[in-house]
Every structure is written in structure tokens, then in C-alpha cells.
Amino acid sequence: MFDKETYAIRRKKLTEKIQHGLIILSGNYTTPFNYASNTFPFRQDSTFLYYIGIDEPGLIALLDTDNGEEYLCGEEPCPDDIIWTGATPTLAQFADMSGINKTINYNQLQMIISKACNKGRKIHFVAPYQAQVSITIGNLLSQHVEKLKSIQSSDLIHAIAEMRKIKEPQEIAEIERAVRTTAIMEQFVIDAATDPACHESENSIRAALFRIFLKEGFFYSFPPIVTTHGEIFHQPFASKERLQKGKILLADIGAESGSHYAGDMTRSVPVGGKFSPKQKEVYNIVLEAQKTVLEVAKPGETWLNVHLAAARIITEGLKEIGIMTGGTDDIINEGAYAMFFPHGIGHLLGLDVHDMENLGEDNFGYSETIKRSHQFGLCNLRYALELKENMTLTNEPGIYFIPYLMQKWKAERRFADFINYDKALKYSDFGGIRIEDDIVITPTGCHILGMEVKKEF
Ligand SMILES: [Mn+2]
């Protein structure tokens, strides 16, 4: 947690932007694993962390933008809680850590909100993603949970996103800590997988990664992806079979710091230590695309243009090895490259690994002038707008050979002028390659966060 002034200043900025009405900022609850007292690891809501900072379940903050009053709502621990889980600070002590001087219980919160509703005052909130929070907000507002999304406050969403997307120096330092631990994890993957006598499996590598972040008192920012099937983006399982020499092991992993800032890196590594010439050709294209992002990303440039600059390198590289053919501009305009690069070049990174995804990417990542594309691949770009100093993002180009997609598009004769299907299908057992680092936008360009991790094999 940062000092209490940090949170007080952020809340003041937020209420000034909103001007009228009440703002509800709900924290998360613990979620049962198989029964109420055996829970999934608790993860606080990131917007609550940003404005309140308290990493404790079952809290709600209420901000009155008309008179500046701030309340922290929660229940005091009962003797049973203290016996089972140890003494925790009182509600007043929690409130004080965040610079809030009024505490209320749930009934008092209900009364304040009902009164405001009766007076026709606006109640600002963000539609919850956690079931228990939905039920609580629904009860407070006497609204059905299904309706919450349609009555959430778009003013609040825009105000939060505008603040959270530009990182304070203390936030960048925290992201850097998360990225440094992530880099140590990637270094482990590289050392283990490139060993000519590699005895590891995907599972044993994952187990070792848990040890690295848990030892730091950190957690993961998303469940680690460690797979020789890099073409399956969110491979749900890992294998306990020994890694096969000659395969490419893709490790997309992220540590989350104690204060819940995320790291997110990917390395694609030759099992046994050496890429085949065919693998190396594709790898070098991805590497060049990644370097291009570092040259192009700067304040004033749109992230959409950065994506397209990377797509151009990938297209030209694939043309050089005979997988694509035709005019580069046409391939990019029509989106044919996305057969091999079907995701965005990167996303905002912060308290969430896909920062603020729960606020709705179209609400802060796109605008009236830059609307989300409907094109296959490009539609997955999570942020498209102008870059500004102190924004933190991932830089993660990739090339994948997805047998299902290649066969489907070939049968449809889709982009037959641009894709050499006979050649592409020869890569059906290739897998996928992605290289990902985290960057911060500086006054004149950008630089990589954390420490350099080997990329040349
Ligand atoms: Mn990422």
C-alpha cells in the first residue's frame, strides 16, 4: 500500500471529475472453492486498490462528490473471526490507512443510498464482475443484477480509466518489481529448456515458476502458460511428459507484486538449445517485429499504428519465406496477415495484467474517431488510441501456425491471392512463437521495464 495521501489525492481528482452524486467503489469478497470457509485466493478489485488501497475482503467505499464526505463500509471482525484467522485492524484503522475518516456498517450504507435515490441523486458505480458484489450492489440499489450493466456510470468508467492509464512513478516502480520477478521466471525457463540434457516437463517448469514468485511473497498475474503448443493461446493444461528436443517451448508468464501490480512476459525457447533453420527464420521475423515496436512507440503515436507497423514486418517476413505473397499494403488492409498473427500487438499493463479490462476496453481503448475493427485478428487489439508518457504496455508480436485455421481458410479459398497454403500447411506441426516484454512510454519514445532477458538463440 502507498501512503494515505496517494489515495486521498486520487479520490479528490476522481470526485472533481464526476462533480455530482455518490460514487460506490466496491471491494471484492472471498469466493468459495468448494464451501464457504475454503476459498480461492482472495484478489482485491483493482479499482478499489487504486482509490482505497486496502487489501481486505468485504469492504465498500462511498464518496459523496457534492460535499466531499468519504465513508468506508464494512463489518467489524467478530471473536470467532479473530480465533480462526487472527486479529485484523478494526474498520476505523483500515479507514485511517486510506485517509478516510468515517466508517459505517452495511445498514447505514443502505440508508444513505436509499435517501440519495429518493432525492433523485445520481449513484455512480461500475458493473461488477464478481457474483457477490453484483448481489450487494443490486440490493443497495434495489435493482436486478442483470440490469446493473445497463445502468452503470459511463462518466465514472471514463474518469477511472483516464487516471489509471497514466502511471505514477511509484506505480511504475511497482510494475518494475513485478517485471523483474517475471524476468527471473523467464530466465529459469530458458536455462531449463535450452539445456541439451533437459529433463523438464511443462508441469515441472510450471512448478518451479510457482516457487520463484511464492518465495518473493508474490503471486501470478494470470495462470502461467507453459506449452510446446504455442499456437493454442490459452492452452488450458500442461503436460507431465518430458520436453522433446527440437520443439519450441512457449512460456507466457507474469508475476504480480505484493501490491498487485502485474508483469507479463513471453519467451519462445528451443528445447535442447538450438532452433532448426526453419524455426530460426520464423523466430527472427517475430524478433524484428518486436524491435520495430520499440522504435515506433512514442507519445502522440497511436497504438493502432504500432500494431500495423509490427504487422508490416510480419507480412514482409512471411513473404520472404514464401508463405505469403502479393502487395504488403493489400495484405495489411485486408487483414490476411492475421492468419499468422491473430492477436493485438499488446495491451495496457498495471494493476490488472490486461489493465482495466473489466471497465470495457471499448470505453477507454477506442474513441469516436478510432473505432474497434471488425476484421479478424485486428478486432482483438485491446487498446488503439494515442500513447502518452507514463503509459505501460506489453510488446508481444507472434507468429502461429494454427492447423484448424489454415485448413478452414484454405477450404474457403479465403485470401488465396495472399496466402501460399501449400507452403503454410507444411508448418502444421510448427506450433507458435511469441516474444513479449513490458514497456513504459517516455517523453520521446519508450523503454523496456525490468531487466533484459535473452532473446537470441
Ligand atoms: Mn500479454
What is the pLDDT at residue 310? 98
Which of 20-34, 75-89, 212-226, 379-393 bottoms out in mean pLDDT, i.e. has the lowest?
A: 75-89
The percent of residues above 70 in pLDDT, for the chain, comes to: 100
Spatial separation of the C-alpha atoms in residues 177 and 451, rounded to whole Å: 10
How many Å lie between the centroid of ligand 1 and the Cα of residue 347?
A: 7
How many Å lie between the centroid of ligand 1 and the Cα of residue 433?
A: 13
How many Å lie between the centroid of ligand 1 and the Cα of residue 252?
A: 8
Query: What pLDDT digit, counting tens, does each position of 24-77 carry?
Result: 999 999 999 999 989 999 999 999 999 999 999 999 999 999 999 999 999 988
How many Å lie between the centroid of ligand 1 and the Cα of residue 315?
A: 21
Tell which residue, 381, 416, 240, has the closest CA to residue 308. 381
What is the pLDDT at residue 214? 97
How many Å lie between the centroid of ligand 1 and the Cα of residue 154?
A: 26
Tell which residue, 120, 5, 157, 125, has the closest CA to residue 61. 125
Q: Report the number of secondary-structure helices (H) and strands (E) in the chain.
A: 16, 17
How many Å lie between the centroid of ligand 1 and the Cα of residue 85?
A: 35
C-alpha cell at 206: 510450471
How many Å lie between the centroid of ligand 1 and the Cα of residue 53?
A: 25
Give Cα separations from 291 to 176, 307, 320, 343 (angstroms). Answer: 20, 12, 18, 18
Q: How many CA atoms lie within 13 A of 348 on its CB side?
A: 31
Close Cβ partners of 54 (under 8 Å, ≥ 6 residues apart): 1, 27, 44, 48, 72, 94, 97, 98
User: Average per-residue pLDDT in the chain?
Assistant: 96
pLDDT band for position 235 (cuts 50, 70, 90): confident
What is the pLDDT at residue 287? 98
Residues 84-112, mean pLDDT to the nearest whole number: 95
**Does the pLDDT value for residue 236 go beyond 80?**
no
How many Å lie between the centroid of ligand 1 and the Cα of residue 210?
A: 18
Task: With beta carbons less than 8 A apart as the criterion, state whether 389 and 412 touch.
Answer: no
How many Å lie between the centroid of ligand 1 and the Cα of residue 393?
A: 9
What is the pLDDT at residue 171? 98
Spatial separation of the C-alpha atoms in residues 215 and 198, rounded to whole Å: 24
Query: What pLDDT digit, counting tens, does each position of 327-340 carry?
Result: 999 999 999 999 99
**Does the pLDDT value for residue 78 go beyond 90?**
no
pLDDT band for position 10 (cuts 50, 70, 90): very high
How many Å lie between the centroid of ligand 1 and the Cα of residue 17?
A: 31
Spatial separation of the C-alpha atoms in residues 83 and 279, rounded to whole Å: 58
Bridging pattern class, strands 255-256 and 219-220: antiparallel
pLDDT band for position 258 (cuts 50, 70, 90): very high
Tell me the sheet residues that pair with 446: 441
> How many residues belong to the chain?
457
Triad 107, 109, 110: Cα angle to 5°: 65
What is the pLDDT at residue 81? 85
**Does the pLDDT value for residue 234 go beyond 90?**
no
What is the pLDDT at residue 189? 98
Tell the residue number behind the cell numbers 495484405, with chain if given: 331
Tell which residue, 94, 47, 51, 46, has the closest CA to residue 72. 94
Structural domains in the chain, CATH included, are: 4-164 (3.40.350.10), 169-448 (3.90.230.10)
Helix (H/G/I), strand (E/B), else coil: 35: strand
What is the pLDDT at residue 356? 98
How many Å lie between the centroid of ligand 1 and the Cα of residue 253?
A: 8
What is the pLDDT at residue 79? 87
How many Å lie between the centroid of ligand 1 and the Cα of residue 346?
A: 6
How many Å lie between the centroid of ligand 1 and the Cα of residue 436?
A: 7
For CA atoms 379, 381, 382, 386, give the dihedral sign. Answer: negative
How many Å lie between the centroid of ligand 1 and the Cα of residue 394?
A: 6
What is the pLDDT at residue 85? 86
Spatial separation of the C-alpha atoms in residues 262 and 353, rounded to whole Å: 5
